[in-house]
Structure 1
Amino acid sequence: MAGRLTWHRTSQSDEELREYLILALLRSRACVTFQDAQLDYHYIANLPETWKLSPGQMPSDMVIFGEALGSQLNELKRLALETGEQQRQEVQIESDKFFEFHIEDISSKNGQHQIMTTIVDMSEIRRREKVLKVLLREVSHRSKNLLAIIQSIATQTARSSTSLDHFLTKFRGRIFSLSQSQDLVTDSNWRGAYLHDLIRDQVARYQQNDKPAVRVAGLNILLSPNAALHIGLALHELMVNAVSASHAMAAGKTIDIRCEITPDGNAELSWNEPADLSPEAPPLPREINPRSFGSTVLERVVPASVSGTSRYRIDEEGVEYVLSFPLSDENVSEEARYS
């Protein structure tokens, strides 16, 4: 053991070295104890606050650690003396405290055997490991959900596509929409996405000549990750439909998007898009029809994903879409946080 001390100044007193080493133990949150072959204590430094030793009290494993743990440590220390092999034991105290005991037989200068025990507080490490496991399970769960959404998008887009080019154009747009919503969720450390940010990202690429074609009003609720992905997809379908029909966009009219709380306590997101009644406007019906993926998303997929209901209307006056859903933990994160 003496060879492990790399270097020290010969003029350095043993008392100063001891004080420095004790300070280092305090910083490392480690405890060191020495016992003789009869397991009588000779030295204890930096005993964790979990265990107490009253002033003037003679220490022993039973006195310090209690009957159960003290007996277990006694057995490990005697085993270390018999075999010369280091013993290791992790102990959990209460629900959130973990300590690792390293027990080894060392020889003193006079050849007598001694037991050195190092106690390391592992509580913070175990807490981080627990949090990491929870996060990994959450990431795995959300990844599976995301893959299921992508698979559904691919399947439904293929069913309503007339050609490969048509499929690729629609599929890429929908995947891009999904990625934008996912970016907002990731940037918030998986808390979710604020509705106004979600609307901004979904409509920005379709606005013409840097003129706002969309007016957003009402509550800026913090949507849960699942709600953000699905509502973002609904906004994408509505915006693509508006651009392809050239109704409100080309005529310079404004699409109104509003979120309010209904008398029954639900959130209600509405999309109101006026029709372009000019002679050169393309005729109805629009691209979204009862058999299209867009209609499936708006009328079935999104309402089901947020345990809500929807109303979707296209006529000569324009487009109206209303999505109503409960302000539950599954849909809204920290629902009090809106402006």
Structure 2
Amino acid sequence: MSFWWGDDLLQFHNDAYLPMLGNRVDHSVGRPFREVWPDVWDAVYPFIQTALSGEGTWQENLPLVMKRHGYEEQTYWTFSYSPLYDDDGRVAGLLNTVTETTQAVADRKGLEEAYLDTQKHLDERARYEGELKLLNRELAHRMKNTLSMVQAIVSQSLRNASSVADASAIIAARIQTLAKAQDLLTGMSVTAAEITAITDAALAPHRDGADRIQLTGPSVYLSAQQALGLSLAVHELATNATKYGALSVPQGRVDITWSHQSGDDFTFDWRESQGPHVVEPTRRGFGSRLTERIVSDLFKGQAKIDFAPDGVAFSLVGKLHQMADLEH
């Protein structure tokens, strides 16, 4: 405690007040408040005025910058100023009951920061756990889709093959295409793959070094299901082109274009030119049905192979999965 008395508010204090004085301890008793505490005078003067007017004050954790040890330091104080009266009942001074709370405020701030840091880590952990669950659901979903596609490839390839050896080669090539598409999906994103990478991977076995296959289109990301379906369709088209179409002769060309319009509208076109004269087959195999029906279902649109005399053409008009579908 301390009290200030008289017109100059001369200071007096008890022993418990001494640590608060710092290097002022030897020259504070009996001196005016303003001389003892010049660094905080302006900050506490409003409370002094209130107490001198006869009204007590209370302040909790008031921040004050003071130089009690020869340097500026941020301190905090909880105190009350109470009016003191002389024998005539006139306010002649004030009593200061004070506790320094600098360390308590620092400790509380430290706890608050620790709490916020802990909460941040908990939020990050919850987010990671959510992402892990999402990954597990996506992997399970993709595994089911892939197994269904493999089952269809095997059963349909066996049904339409002329021999076991032929069926084995066809099945191996188709499953290898699926594997490459899966590798791209795993390497680039859990849920989506860029169309150029998917198309390039499916075409890789059929490129002969010549610049005969041209890809043109914007960067578009396909969902896992659509990427697998389109990869298989490109594989089937490229296999047929290598065996019978434009890629079976040196001068043949294949132009692949796609577009992504406003919203989720999507088109994909395959055009062969400068190849052998095309004759429409009398029997449609599984490859043609896969290219047309499965892909059209995956893209919720229409897909069609045209066996035009001057070159096979494939056209797909459909919808891309929304970004929300790629993320969940």
Is TM more than 0.5 here?
yes
How much does 1:124 deviate? 3.9
Aligned equivalents of 1:248, 1:51: Cα separation in 2? 66
How much does 1:221 deviate? 1.0
Question: Is contact 1:227-1:331 (8 Å) kept?
Answer: no
**Over residues 52-87 of structure 1, what are the superposed CA-to-partner deviations in whole Å (9 max), with x where a residue is unaligned?**
9xxxxxxxxxxxxxxxxxxxxxxxxxxxxxxxxxxx
Question: Is contact 2:138-2:190 (8 Å) kept?
Answer: no
Question: Is contact 2:233-2:291 (8 Å) kept?
Answer: yes
Aligned equivalents of 1:249, 1:215: Cα separation in 2? 16
The alignment's TM-score, normalised by the length of structure 1, stands at 0.57
Query: What is the one-letter code of the residue matched to 1:312?
Result: I
How much does 1:275 deviate? 5.0
Change (3 A) 1:285 1:140: same
**2:205 counterpart residue number:** 205
**1:227 counterpart residue number:** 226
**2:181 counterpart residue number:** 181
Aligned equivalents of 1:195, 1:331: Cα separation in 2? 18
Instruction: Point out where structure 2 has 5 or more consecutive residues left out of the alignment.
Output: 1-106
How much does 1:219 deviate? 2.0
Change (3 A) 1:315 1:189: closer
Aligned equivalents of 2:325, 2:255: Cα separation in 1? 22
How much does 1:301 deviate? 0.7
Question: Is contact 1:223-1:332 (8 Å) kept?
Answer: no
Aligned equivalents of 2:225, 2:275: Cα separation in 1? 34
Aligned equivalents of 1:203, 1:331: Cα separation in 2? 29
Aligned equivalents of 1:243, 1:298: Cα separation in 2? 16
Instruction: Point out where structure 1 has 5 or more consecutive residues left out of the alignment.
Output: 1-43, 53-95, 99-120, 335-339
Change (3 A) 1:48 1:262: closer
Aligned equivalents of 2:131, 2:300: Cα separation in 1? 29
**1:12 counterpart residue number:** none
**2:302 counterpart residue number:** 309
**1:154 counterpart residue number:** 154
- Within 5 Å, give how 1:123-272 maps onto structure 2: 123-208=123-208, 210-261=209-260, 266-272=265-271
The alignment's TM-score, normalised by the length of structure 2, stands at 0.59
How much does 1:213 deviate? 2.0
Aligned equivalents of 1:298, 1:176: Cα separation in 2? 17
The one of 295, 313, 319 aligned to 1:326: 319
Query: What is the one-letter code of the residue matched to 1:207?
Result: R
Query: What is the one-letter code of the residue matched to 2:166?
Result: H
Query: What is the one-letter code of the residue matched to 2:230?
Result: I
Question: Is contact 1:182-1:229 (8 Å) kept?
Answer: yes
Question: Is contact 1:219-1:258 (8 Å) kept?
Answer: no
By percentage of residues, which structure has more helix? 2
How much does 1:310 deviate? 1.1
Cα RMSD after superposing both structures: 3.1
Aligned equivalents of 2:248, 2:219: Cα separation in 1? 24
Change (3 A) 1:125 1:217: closer
Change (3 A) 1:188 1:168: same
Change (3 A) 1:235 1:165: same
Identical amino acids, percent of aligned pairs = 26
How much does 1:236 deviate? 0.3
**2:275 counterpart residue number:** 276
Aligned residues: 219
For the pair shown, the structure with the greater C-alpha radius of gyration is 2
How much does 1:331 deviate? 10
Question: Is contact 2:246-2:253 (8 Å) kept?
Answer: no
How much does 1:252 deviate? 1.6
Aligned equivalents of 1:160, 1:152: Cα separation in 2? 12
Query: What is the one-letter code of the residue matched to 2:285?
Result: S
How much does 1:317 deviate? 1.4
How much does 1:212 deviate? 2.3
How much does 1:253 deviate? 2.2
